[in-house]
Amino acid sequence: MTVAVLRQLYCLFLCVTVRGELPAIPYHGCMDTQPLYLQLADDIAAQISARVLRAGERLPSLREMKLRRGLSLSTVQQAFRRLEDLGLVEARPQSGYFVRYRSEPGHALRLAAPTEVAVDPLLWSYVEDQSEQRTERMQGFRSAVAPHALLPVAQLQRYTLDCMRRHPDLLSDYGRPSGYLDFKRQIARLAMEWGGQLHPEQLIVTQGTIEALNLALRALTQPGDVVAVESPAYFSLLYTLKALGLRVVEIPTDPVSGISVEALELATRDAAIKAVILVPNFSNPLGALMPDAAKEKVADMLAARGIPLIEDDVYGEFYYGRQRPRPIKAFDRSGNVLYCASLTKDVAPGLRIGWIDPGRYRSQVEVQKYLSTHSTPTLNQAVLARFLASGAYPRHMRRLRRAIASQMQGLLQGLAQHFPADVQYTPPQGGFALWLVFPQGFDSLALHQQARQEGIGLAPGPLFSPRGDYRHCLRLSCAEPWTEAQQARLVRLGELVRRQYAD
């Protein structure tokens, strides 16, 4: 058997193990030589298979590879496109090519039956720590909210006093269930950055994103219904689904490109799924970013099937690159997307202000808003309306994004230095979250308990699964400033990890 044929078989093996399917690889016959681009692609694929190049690692640039191998630029480009087709690498705008996270063979098409959300009592220690975050007792890598020093607290204080002085009636008025019109106008203007056509009268102001999600689910589902979510999924969403008596279908999700569109297509072929909930921009806990093509395909597919899509875009403003990613709402042509977002992560967690554009389900959602909390505090909306109207928000976000990106870089460098080499993680393109995958048998719950005793916070993997899966995974957050103390916590965390490896 010739070298060329062996290489063809090797490519087939890689594609089956990585993507769970056979690719359409052209046959080149029993020649002793291959096109140069295939030889280069095979060599890089072999390095990925041997984990010389690890998941999330950046490949040499096209020009650098051209010089190394003495090839033309077009040959190198063909090789990299070949690796993309095989699902081994991912192109990121303005960043280059990165090794993709490697899933189990056929993982994207294996769907579990609907399940209820189970809550492990051990995990309530994590929830209880909410009141202790950023204190001397509990710090580290658990919070997904910008720290106090990076928030515009002084400006908001001034605007609060000014609003109370100019409009004392705000303290004695319940306000409209749909919200304060001046604030909604500012949100509609803000959406223009991603090409959004939000209309102020269409928006409903909520007490954070979590209420927006609650209202959408109450409007669309009944206890016992089934909804589809990303897997892993944010734990607060899972607990919300449990409280509403809903069952869950988990859709496999990639740390680079987000939810598997193929698996979602399979799960929604019948009428069992009543709604789909997605976080397409820098999802928590994976940090994944869905490509625009996938967003558009999902929007069109669910609209055609009459299945509403609830979109959580709370992290959309936390991009590390040059341009804000578009939400799925930007591709919504029929009002099928219920778009949820807030200012709780980036401006004022304590004011608890979010919103929902319910699309064609507005009347149902407004009724649920009236029945649940009637309205959202108008004073808080007025303060944030003043802040947005002042023009301070873009400047604030540029500063905040730079800080978060720098803190993520510090976390990534620390992991490379202080954690075992077989720990897999994919550097995100935005957001706070970094998902770590350890070898099977690793116990993130045990690590969580040990770290908690030393005042180091993290999020164990089972938090993000309705079945308590992902015990060998955990989420770290880069929200805290990267100081010597924070680096020391990561060093200590690495020591606890290695101790578990040794046991």
Full pLDDT tens readout for the chain, 503 residues: 444 444 444 444 444 444 444 343 333 333 345 688 888 888 888 777 666 777 777 888 888 888 888 899 889 988 898 888 777 888 876 678 888 755 433 343 556 788 888 866 666 666 666 555 444 556 889 888 888 899 999 999 999 999 999 988 888 888 899 999 999 999 999 998 888 889 999 999 999 999 999 999 999 999 999 999 999 999 999 999 999 999 999 999 988 889 999 899 999 988 799 999 999 999 999 999 999 999 999 999 999 999 999 999 999 999 998 899 999 999 999 999 999 999 999 999 999 999 999 999 999 999 999 999 999 999 999 999 999 999 999 999 999 999 999 999 999 999 999 999 999 998 999 999 999 999 999 999 999 999 999 999 999 999 999 988 999 999 999 999 999 999 999 999 999 999 999 88
Kindly state whether residues 136 and 169 are assigned to the same domain.
no
At 46, which CATH number?
1.10.10.10
Residues 40 and 55 in one domain: yes
> Could you tell me if residue 20 is inside a domain?
no
User: Does residue 245 lie in a domain region?
Assistant: yes
Residue 278 lies in a domain: yes
Residues 372 and 316 in one domain: yes
What pLDDT shows up at residue 28?
A: 37
Instruction: Please indicate, yes or no, if residue 384 is contained in any of the structural domains.
Output: yes
Domain closes at, from 339, 369, 392: 392
Can you give the pLDDT at residue 12? 42
Antiparallel, parallel or unpaired: β 337-342 and 354-357:
antiparallel
Co-location of 192 and 315 in the same domain: yes
- What pLDDT shows up at residue 13? 42
> The pTM is what?
0.79
pLDDT value for 121: 66
Last residue of a domain, one of 342, 367, 392: 392
The verdict on residue 18 lying in a domain is no
Q: Is residue 124 part of a domain?
A: yes
Same domain, 184 and 132: no
Q: What pLDDT score was predicted for residue 51?
A: 64
Give the count of domains, the chain.
3
Residue 24 lies in a domain: no
- Same domain, residue pair 80 and 164: no
CATH number at residue 477: 3.90.1150.10
Together in a domain, 299 and 230? yes
* Residue at a domain's end among 392, 421, 451: 392
Same domain as 66, residue 210: no
Clarify whether residues 403 and 348 are in a common domain. no
C-alpha 161/C-alpha 158 separation (Å) is 5
Q: What is the CATH number of the domain that holds 183?
A: 3.40.640.10
| Domain span holding position 126 | 119-147+395-502
Buried b (16+ CB within 10 A) or exposed e, 354-392: bbbbbbebbebbbebbeeeeebbbbbbbbbbbbbbeeeb
In order, the DSSP letters of 297-342 are: HHHHHHHHHT--EEEE-TTTT-BSSSSPPPPGGGG-SSS-EEEEEE
Same domain, 372 and 447: no
- What distance in Å separates the CA atoms of residue 47 and residue 30, rounded to the nearest whole number? 24
Question: Is there a single domain that holds both residue 175 and residue 291?
Answer: yes
User: Is residue 426 a contact partner of residue 55, using CB atoms and an 8 Å limit?
Assistant: yes
Q: Are residues 265 and 326 in the same domain?
A: yes
Task: Evaluate whether residue 7 is within a structural domain.
Answer: no
